[in-house]
Amino acid sequence: MRAMVLDKPKQPLQLRDVPKPNPGRGQLLVRVSACAVCRTDLHVVDGELPNPKLPLILGHQIVGRVEEIGEEANSKFQIGDRVGIPWLGWTDGGCAYCRSGRENLCDRARFTGYTIDGGYADFTVADARFCFSLPDRYNDVEVAPLLCAGLIGYRSYRKTGNPRRLGIYGFGNAAHLIAQIALYEGRELFVFTRPGDTATQQAAKKLGAVWAGGSDEIPPEKLDAAIVFASVGLLVPTALRALAKGGVVVCGGIHMSDIPSFPYADLWEERVITSVANLTRRDGEDFFEIAPRVPVQTKTETFPLEQANTALDRFRTGELKGTAVLVVNQ
């Protein structure tokens, strides 16, 4: 089978013929039809996430069909079923985190396209317990970005509580998806972009934001909560200063540059800073229940598998007009 393989961080992926994987106990063999490109893929390629499996097949927003079912695999899937494979690929199920509904914090967790091979390939294998059934409303390309940008964004959004005024810093893929749910649920949306990015600000207003401006601007009203999707640590104290009393800043990325020091007065009055780590299967079930009701719309740009490096480079330089999706077996 074909796969785009990372041999070493900071090097281009190599298109190779590699052995087709066999499903182990509890696993599915999935013929990949589409795999969306994520900023986390860039962090792995650029060496910003430590200790990836090497050589590595990237990709954790995988859509495909079940080709084979390993022994003891979850019986909810049959041959030919469409499945989604997310970032969280396996947990031990028995640690204190797993037993308390926080499997996303499992110390032994394995992650698709990082510590186990992912979907930049014709086929992949995945633990059946961590695969999702996908809403029929979406085709393969449309649904692929929901498997990370949607899921992690949704967990970030739910950690804000029940805000009336919600700020979003960085209006990329995850922000665009979660903004739609926030508006559907009646939030007042305030969007912060790179200073001077009037095109994105206008797009946010067209979507329904009550205000959009640069990240160097102060919103016209204090926010009840803010999500920082941009991987820029400087934005955390900036968002904190925009909060009303008791507000929360949620950091929605797996990697962020250092957060600079700030005066305690900015945190006082029960303001909170928290992070989001990975996702749980419950997050996925809840998100895929609400997404088609909104309905959440994705914007995509497709590339053939062998152009994965081009997709990553265009992501890195900000040239994409939607989520890059590698089209594999279609």
Residue range 51-107, pLDDT digits in tens: 999 999 999 999 999 999 998 776 789 999 999 999 999 999 999 999 999 999 999
For residue 321, the one-letter residue type is: K
Provide CB contacts within 8 A for 23, sequence distance 6+: 29, 68, 69, 70, 73, 125
Q: What letter does residue 121 receive in the DSSP assignment?
A: B
Q: Over range 205-223, report the average pLDDT.
A: 97
Does 215 have pLDDT greater than 80?
yes
pLDDT digits (tens, 9 = 90+) for 246-292: 999 999 987 889 999 999 999 999 999 999 998 899 999 999 999 99
CA–CA–CA angle 137, 140, 146 (5° rounding): 75
For residue 296, the one-letter residue type is: V
Are 178 and 276 a contacting pair, CB within 8 Å? no
Report CA torsion sign: 150, 120, 89, 132: positive
Q: Report the percentage of the chain scoring pLDDT > 90.
A: 91
Report CA torsion sign: 28, 111, 6, 176: positive
Whether residue 86 is preceded by a cis peptide bond, meaning omega within 30 degrees of 0, is: no
For residue 245, the surrounding DSSP H or E stretch is strand 243-251
Are 212 and 201 a contacting pair, CB within 8 Å? yes
Segments of 10-87 assigned E as strands? 14-17, 27-36, 56-57, 62-69, 82-85
The pLDDT confidence band at residue 147, using thresholds 50, 70 and 90, is: very high
Q: Over range 167-187, report the average pLDDT.
A: 94
Q: What letter does residue 167 receive in the DSSP assignment?
A: E
Cα–Cα distance measured from residue 224 to residue 242, given in angstroms and rounded to the nearest whole number:
9
Query: Residue 57 has what pLDDT?
Result: 98
Tokens 């008791």 correspond to 246
Query: Residue 46 has what pLDDT?
Result: 94
Query: Residue 71 has what pLDDT?
Result: 85
Tokens 């590698």 correspond to 326
Query: Residue 127 has what pLDDT?
Result: 96
Query: Residue 76 has what pLDDT?
Result: 85
Instruction: For residue 225, give both structure tokens.
Output: 């909560």
Query: Residue 172 has what pLDDT?
Result: 86
For residue 233, the one-letter residue type is: G
Query: Residue 301 has what pLDDT?
Result: 96
Query: Residue 318 has what pLDDT?
Result: 85
Instruction: For residue 102, give both structure tokens.
Output: 């926080």
Report CA torsion sign: 324, 65, 154, 228: negative
Residue among 280, 267, 322 nearest 300 (CA): 322
SS3 193: strand
Residue among 277, 274, 255 nearest 106 (CA): 277
Q: Which conformational region is residue 243 in: left (phi greater than 0), alpha (psi within -120 to 50 degrees), or beta? A: beta
pLDDT digits (tens, 9 = 90+) for 116-131: 999 999 999 999 999 9
Query: Residue 149 has what pLDDT?
Result: 87
Provide CB contacts within 8 A for 240, sequence distance 6+: 249, 262, 266, 267, 271, 273
Report CA torsion sign: 220, 221, 222, 228: negative
Q: Over range 317-326, report the average pLDDT.
A: 91
Q: How far is the CA of 93 from the CAs of 41, 88, 312, in angstroms?
A: 26, 13, 34
Query: Residue 329 has what pLDDT?
Result: 79
Helical pair 149-158 and 281-290, crossing angle rounded to 10 deg: 100
Query: Residue 227 has what pLDDT?
Result: 98
Q: Report the percentage of the chain scoring pLDDT > 70.
A: 99
Provide CB contacts within 8 A for 142, sequence distance 6+: 298, 300
